[in-house]
Structure 1
Amino acid sequence: MPLSAFLPRSLPAVGLGAVLVAAGCSPGGDDPSEPDGETRTVEAANGSVEVPAEPQSVAVLWRPTLGAATQLGHDVVATMGTPGQSGQGLEPFLPEGADADALTVVTNSPSEEDVNIEELANTAPDLIIGVDTQMGAQAEMLDDLEQIAPTVLLEWDGTGAWRGHLEEVAEVLDEPDRAEEAVAEYDEAVEEAREELSDAGTDPAETELSLVRLQDESEVRLETSASFPGQVVDDLGFARPDDQIDPDGETDFVPRSYENLDSADGDAVFVLTGSGYPEAPDTFSDGVWANLSAVQDEQVFHGDHDVWGAASYYAAHRIVEEVTAALTGEAEPAV
């Protein structure tokens, strides 16, 4: 089955990272945007880019790109992260056991606008892969990036773009077979999880699964089917509460006040917290949470939004594992 079959319906089957098969040899020279040796031409958001046919030192300027590149078997010499945070916030975008602290972080914050050009240049990449978002920060610094190495900007349309992003990065790195393997492995994990849930007496199609992110002291956000975790639980076949099926606006979440927390109810509820978000309450059995049927049925579970919002195949596998453990009785519910 082609990779395009796994793309969200809202994304084009062939993205801006599509590779032209043209290959040749560059004369090289002093211009870092013209690589030495055999090259390939990539069509990207920033036009046609001549890249090394076999890049050896890839820098990425978006954490989901880190996940995609390492999933495809490439070492990364530089990435963005959150200096000062444990593991720089990179673990959900890396294979299990990888040393996140060993990576060179070339941003001073999670913001894509905060690329440290000098630090990036010191890592001597032969290819830079960035993103062109609505903010457009990396597009504005393109001239500086191209002074370091050939730079490919890929479109990023939000956390739901993780599947298409893997395909586009695979096209840039000429790794279509590895991408197919990654998709097949995930698809197999989903099928195995559905069988395990069924064997435990849980029918996902008959089980409304609610995803609730704690945003601040006055607001929660309901993750819709357009969000990254929403897409993963949809892959598992779970029903969703009405408010979490189709987003009304451009966001992939629905804001709710605590006074309207009843709209976050479901047969099971995952409450997502993480770095920069409020902590979960000590108990869900009193206050505004107590009226939820999921609380009364002891079907409320914790989720780490640092993982559940990571928009990578690594994180998708983790979500599949955590949901399966919770709804087969292997994981303890929140108190």
Structure 2
Amino acid sequence: MSHSTPLLRSLSVFALAGALALTGCGTGGGGSAPDGTAETRTVEAANGTVEVPASPERIAVLWRPTLAAVTQLGHGVVGTMGTPGADGYGLAPFLPEDVDGADLTLVTNSPAEDDVNIEELATAEPDLIIGVSTPMGAQAEMADELEAIAPTVLLEWEGTGSWRGHLEEVAGVLGAETEAEQAVSAYEEAVEGARGELEAAGVDPAGTELSLVRLQSGTEIRLETPESFPGQVIGDLGFARPDTQLEGEGDTDFVPRSYENLDQADGDVVFALAGSGYPDAPETFSDGLWANLDAVGDEQIYRVDYDFWGSANHHGAHRIIEDVTAALTGETDPAV
């Protein structure tokens, strides 16, 4: 894209380099069909060198951002992880709009990394399993069980920031590098397009402090830092952040606070992140301690869906861009 910022270009190059490293073995060492076409290819992953189908038809994924990546690259899945009982298994933030999560088969008992239902996974009869290797290491510990079902590729997921390169890493496994490049370009174009709309509306991101407040429960809020997923997307758009939200506590990318410290959630504009994890979150914010915030008095507070804003994938990133642009150009009414 001709107008990409240096930050976005460098991120794309870094992510693509990771994908190329992953696919460095290409089809070398893979098996071939009688007509000479490759039946398998080898990839380098966190769990070593893995021989995978060249054209997998029954993919199972064990990480919801991986589900987002696989479907964005044009592949279907036979099994995934979700929340039993939730509408569409709570998978909407990880799927294209034309795919219904209710049509998918759960192969895990919950969205938790360490809660894989091996029996359900085997029943789905995948020809490829894609999971993650995280500092927690749960799926790495069950690698033998997974590999007994189908070729298994574990990709590194070191934290929220991994969403940027995960799409390209999945593309390396599936041989879909071109599609990944197109998706990265689409994100860059969405960022640049939003900046143009904001500028036309008289909004200066660099001079506007955006506060991101996750409504965790009736007693706790979490202030999202620039290292969080929504914080990274907001950063790509060029927005400033309040001083109270610049650094997480410990190794987290958020700052936990009680409602008594709600004043730390103030900013020029406040986005209140409420999702399925806290169904009792208020719809508007003009009562109680909220009324003390300058953003509430200025009618610059907006309620958004944390299920999307916390999803750590490209679908969610586009949703954040759309929500912010709609709010600050007057298309969305404030939550007061």
Query: Does TM-score exceed 0.5, indicating one fold?
Result: yes
**How far apart, in 2, do the equivalents of 1:287 and 1:141 lie?**
49
- Is the contact made by 1:211 and 1:271 (CA closer than 8 Å) also made in structure 2? yes
Q: State how 1:157-306 maps to structure 2 within 5 Å.
A: 157-277=158-278, 279-281=280-282, 283-306=284-307
Aligned with 2:24 (options 16, 20, 26): 20
User: Which stretch shows the higher mean deviation, 256-265 or 266-275?
Assistant: 256-265
Distance 1:312 1:17, change over 3 A: farther
After superposition, the C-alpha distances for 1:155-188 in whole angstroms (9 at most, x for unaligned) are 1122221111111111111111111100101111
Where 2:111 maps in the other structure, the secondary structure is coil
- Is the contact made by 2:283 and 2:303 (CA closer than 8 Å) also made in structure 1? no
- Is the contact made by 1:129 and 1:151 (CA closer than 8 Å) also made in structure 2? yes
- Is the contact made by 1:4 and 1:14 (CA closer than 8 Å) also made in structure 2? no
**How far apart, in 1, do the equivalents of 2:196 and 2:211 lie?**
21
What is the match of residue 105 of structure 1? 106
**How far apart, in 1, do the equivalents of 2:282 and 2:224 lie?**
19
Where 1:14 maps in the other structure, the secondary structure is helix
What is the match of residue 32 of structure 1? none
**How far apart, in 2, do the equivalents of 1:176 and 1:27 lie?**
21
Deviation at 1:102, TM superposition (A): 0.4
What is the match of residue 135 of structure 1? 136
After superposition, the C-alpha distances for 1:221-267 in whole angstroms (9 at most, x for unaligned) are 01111111111111111111112233353111111121211111111
Return the TM-score normalized by structure 2: 0.91
- Is the contact made by 2:93 and 2:315 (CA closer than 8 Å) also made in structure 1? yes
Distance 1:112 1:332, change over 3 A: same
What is the match of residue 83 of structure 2? 82
Deviation at 1:130, TM superposition (A): 0.2
What is the match of residue 127 of structure 2? 126
Letter in 2 for 1:77: V
User: Which stretch shows the higher mean deviation, 72-81 or 36-45?
Assistant: 36-45
After superposition, the C-alpha distances for 1:265-312 in whole angstroms (9 at most, x for unaligned) are 111001011112253335422321111110000000001111111111
After superposition, the C-alpha distances for 1:134-160 in whole angstroms (9 at most, x for unaligned) are 221111111111111100011112222
- Is the contact made by 1:4 and 1:13 (CA closer than 8 Å) also made in structure 2? no
Where 1:211 maps in the other structure, the secondary structure is strand
What is the match of residue 334 of structure 1? 335
Q: State how 1:2-81 maps to structure 2 within 5 Å.
A: 5-6=10-11, 14=18, 18-23=22-27, 24-26=29-31, 38-81=39-82
After superposition, the C-alpha distances for 1:97-124 in whole angstroms (9 at most, x for unaligned) are 2111001111111212221112111222
Deviation at 1:189, TM superposition (A): 1.0
Return the TM-score normalized by structure 1: 0.91
**How far apart, in 1, do the equivalents of 2:13 and 2:266 lie?**
26
User: Which stretch shows the higher mean deviation, 214-223 or 316-325?
Assistant: 214-223
- Is the contact made by 2:19 and 2:171 (CA closer than 8 Å) also made in structure 1? no
- Is the contact made by 1:18 and 1:42 (CA closer than 8 Å) also made in structure 2? yes
- Is the contact made by 1:16 and 1:45 (CA closer than 8 Å) also made in structure 2? no
Deviation at 1:329, TM superposition (A): 0.5
- Is the contact made by 2:263 and 2:293 (CA closer than 8 Å) also made in structure 1? yes
**How far apart, in 2, do the equivalents of 1:122 and 1:181 lie?**
34
Letter in 2 for 1:227: S
Letter in 1 for 2:90: G
Greater share of strand: 1
Query: How many correspondences in the alignment?
Result: 327
Q: What RMSD in Å do the two structures reach over aligned CA positions?
A: 2.4
- Is the contact made by 1:17 and 1:44 (CA closer than 8 Å) also made in structure 2? no
- Is the contact made by 2:283 and 2:335 (CA closer than 8 Å) also made in structure 1? no
**How far apart, in 2, do the equivalents of 1:20 and 1:52 lie?**
16
- Is the contact made by 2:223 and 2:255 (CA closer than 8 Å) also made in structure 1? yes
Letter in 2 for 1:320: I
Where 2:125 maps in the other structure, the secondary structure is coil
Deviation at 1:17, TM superposition (A): 7.0
Q: What residue ranges of structure 2 are gaps of 5+ in the alignment? A: none
- Residue identity over aligned pairs, in percent, reads 67
Q: What residue ranges of structure 1 are gaps of 5+ in the alignment? A: 29-35
**How far apart, in 2, do the equivalents of 1:13 and 1:19 lie?**
10
